[in-house]
Chains A and B, each alone.
Chain A
């Protein structure tokens, strides 16, 4: 997997935009939301607000590498959010 030093791997897309641009772009995409306690929520991102409250659809709760619960629509209170990661291409 090593590439020549003269040709470092280019990112697939140029890095541009602000964090809020990123958040706008991932609405409607599958995402992973990690909260402070280390639990992950996977689901379709319905929307977010300025507090980083998150609405997810078809939510899976993952803890310690195990699927621990499934919910339909989910409201996640923003103060608990550690990060939001896109699980599909933007």
Chain B
């Protein structure tokens, strides 16, 4: 099973190719994560996703400069184009 997958991965972007039509998790610059269904990608890692949930991980700092407990802001988007230069990581979710 693992070998069958490996045989089809000859370059890193093959992981993205194999994830077309699947739900993927993406870690982005600016403390954001995105999950969505992968519809299209290119060599820049520009990506088109549908049924997207974006999570923004925020650490507020109070008046004394003390960081508060981290919180997460979420929003849902039907269809999303992501510019490749913001991408850190992509992983298919199980």
Quick check: A53 and B12 within 8 Å, CB to CB? yes
Judged by a CB distance under 8 angstroms, whether B79 is at the interface is: no
Quick check: A77 and B88 within 8 Å, CB to CB? yes
Quick check: B11 and A49 within 8 Å, CB to CB? yes
Quick check: B94 and A75 within 8 Å, CB to CB? no
Q: Which A residues touch B40, using CB under 8 A?
A: none
Quick check: B12 and A35 within 8 Å, CB to CB? no
Across the interface, A76 reaches (CB within 8 A) one of B10, B25, B89, B92, namely B89
Report A35-60 CB contacts with B as 1/0, cut-off 8 Å: 10100010000111100011101010
Q: How many residues on A have C-beta within 8 angstroms of the other chain's C-beta atoms?
A: 21
CA distance A77 to B84 in the complex (A): 9
Across the interface, B15 reaches (CB within 8 A) one of A37, A73, A79, A80, namely A73
Quick check: A77 and B89 within 8 Å, CB to CB? yes
Quick check: A73 and B92 within 8 Å, CB to CB? yes
Q: Which of B12, B14, B91 has the most CB of A within 10 A?
A: B12
CA distance A76 to B13 in the complex (A): 9
Judged by a CB distance under 8 angstroms, whether B87 is at the interface is: yes
Q: Give B1-53 interface residues, CB cut-off 8 Å to A.
A: 2, 5-6, 9-16, 18, 25, 45
Residues of B within 8 A of A (CB): 2, 5-6, 9-16, 18, 25, 45, 84-85, 87-92, 94
Jot down 11 A-B pairs with beta carbons below 8 A, ordered by A: A37-B88, A47-B9, A55-B9, A55-B11, A59-B91, A72-B94, A73-B92, A75-B12, A75-B13, A75-B91, A76-B88
